[in-house]
Every structure is written in C-alpha cells, then in structure tokens.
Chains A and B, each alone.
Chain A
C-alpha cells in the first residue's frame, strides 16, 4: 500500500494533508461533473467534495479502509465514491425541492416490475450483455468503435466483431419471425 495512504489510516496528520493535496482535484472533478457547471454549482461542488472527505475520515477512516489496492487504483476508486456521494446529494436536493403543496397525492406503490420473460416474439437471451452494450453505444450514443472500445476496455476490432455478430443474430431472428 502507498506510504501516504498507510499513514493516513494511522491518523497521521502529515499523511492526511498529503492525501488531500494529491486527490482533492480528482474528488472535486468527479463531483463537479455530476452537479454541472455554474458559479453556484462551484460552491455546491465544494460542499459535496467536503462531504466526500468527511465520509472518508469518519469512524476512523472506515470507508477509506475498504479500498483494495490490488483491485484498482486509488484514483479510480475515489472517482466512483465521489460520484456516488454527488448523486446522493442530487437526490436529496430534488426531494427537498418538492414542497408539500406540490407533492402528488399518496398513491399505492407501483407494482414491482418483473424481469423480462421470454415470449414467443422476443427471446430474452437473444443478445449477450456485451452485444447489447455495443449496439446501444453505437446507435443510441452515436459513438465510433474506438470510443466504444475505450468504454468497455476492449479493442476497436473486438467492438466491430461484436457488433457484426449481434446484428447477424438479430437479422436471423427477424428473418425467421418476420421483418420488423
């Protein structure tokens, strides 16, 4: 484990200061991307970033101790944690913004949606998760194979191959069942 991080967990002030200097930018950037731009958003992002640091320190660094250096870099882990805290903050802000007068009347909770079940028209496992992701990113997000590859951590060639196989499956299925 990194020397700074190790001494941080021992409560050493100098290590904590070094940790803050090293990763404040990462945390603030991750929080800022979730909250959006604008002057008032900067102050809000500062508050949410502080919330991230508070959560890292709380209960003798309980959250920070959960970081596993064998599985990922600290930068990646902090980005995910910071993003999660920012999203929680957004949710709380939206809840607070709804006044009692504007709140919708109490209704029965929605029926829990069941996972998709195979039907005669549409088998669930027609495409693999990766195939769905590739098509989704290419056609819904308008991303090129190189960009898709960066998202999924695979090569652009693998993206093209996956796309080809996915479309082939869809084509065969719809040729059998009838054109869409």
Chain B
C-alpha cells in the first residue's frame, strides 16, 4: 500500500471511529477464557466475542497488549521478600508417618476392645454386688423378723403361771 493510500485509509478509519457511539457491554471476560484466547486455545466463537469486546473496551485491549509485551521479554525474578512473605501463608501440617498411624490404629482398636470388656466386667461385678447386698439385706431382715417372733413366743412360754394349756392359775377364782 502506498503512503497516499495509507493516509487515506487512516482518514477513513478516523472518520469511522469518531462516529462510533457503542460502549462495552456484557459480562466481564472470565480469566480462564481470556487466558485461552491469549494462548491461542479459544474456540472461534469465543475469539469473536473477546475481539468484539476488545474493539470496544480500551481496558481489555490494554490488558491484551500488556500481556503480549510481557511475553516478549524474559520474566525477571521477584525480590526475595515477595517469595518469603508468600511462603509464610501456608504452614506445614504435623506430618505423621503412615506406619505410625497404622500401628496406632491397631493399638487403638485393641484398647477399645479392652475398654469394652472392662466395662462389662465392672458392670457385672457391680450388679452382683448390688444384688447380693440386697439379698443379704433381705435375708437378715427376715431372720430378724423371725427371731423376733421366736423371742415373743419364748417370752410367752417363759411366763411363770402359764401352763401349756395357756390358762393361768388365777384365772378361775372368779368362777367358784
């Protein structure tokens, strides 16, 4: 294209651009989609959409231009402080070897069984003890009660004027 034709082309473009009134619309281009475009992996429909937006949105166009400029030069290393601060964001978790976890798991299982057995035994002994006490207590009470009756009978029998017939000697004076 000659210089004259190019100047004319520039005029045509400036005239066209001056009369455009469109504004960027629609949702923001997602980072994944824009990254795909920049890496040449976006599908044709996405390319058309992104370029339509670039044509109307100076910020997006500038972002693309900036990215291309960054690509043209090797990336210098960041200051050491950047890496130091960033690394502090993730702290190491307590790393327990798998063998220890497995062994602990087996011991824990045994401990659980032992605890369960102990509970059963204690409950059994406790129940026996409780029941036994109750039984003994009941037996003692019964014995006492029985002993009391016996004692009363013995007391009755041991009354001086009380014969076997239970009649007292003085009981017929009034009858003559």
Where the two chains meet, the residues of A that have a C-beta atom closer than 8 Å to any C-beta of B are 11, 13, 16-17, 20-21, 24-30, 33-34, 42, 46, 49-50, 53-54, 57, 66-68, 71-73, 76-77, 79-81, 83-84, 87, 113, 115-116, 121-122, 124, 126-127, 129-130, 132-133, 135-136, 139-141, 150-153, 163-164, 166-167, 170-171, 174, 180
Contacts and interface: CB of A to CB of B under 8 A. Distances in A.
Interface string B79-91: 1011101110111
A142 to B, nearest CB: 10
Contacts of B25: 115
29 contacts: A21-B83, A24-B78, A25-B76, A28-B78, A29-B76, A30-B70, A33-B66, A46-B82, A49-B82, A71-B39, A73-B39, A76-B38, A77-B32, A77-B35, A79-B70, A80-B67, A115-B25, A122-B19, A122-B20, A129-B55, A133-B51, A133-B54, A141-B65, A151-B68, A152-B51, A153-B38, A163-B9, A170-B15, A180-B12
A73 B32 CA distance: 10
Given A81-B31, A113-B23, A24 B14 contact: no
A83 B54 CA distance: 16
Given A113-B23, A174-B12, A83 B86 contact: no
Given A29-B70, A122-B16, A170-B9, 17 more contacts: A27-B82, A34-B66, A53-B85, A53-B89, A67-B32, A71-B32, A73-B35, A76-B35, A84-B31, A116-B20, A130-B55, A132-B55, A136-B17, A140-B17, A151-B65, A151-B68, A163-B9
B78 A133 contact: no
Nearest to A49: B82
A129 B13 contact: no
A132 to B, nearest CB: 4
A4 to B, nearest CB: 13
Interface string B1-42: 100000011111111110111110100000111111111111
Nearest to A151: B68
A29 B67 CA distance: 10
Contact of A121 (B19, B35, B91): B19
B90 A167 contact: no
Given A49-B82, A72-B39, A13 B92 contact: yes
A126 B75 CA distance: 41
Contacts of A174: 12, 15
A164 B91 CA distance: 58
Contact of B13 (A11, A50, A139): A139
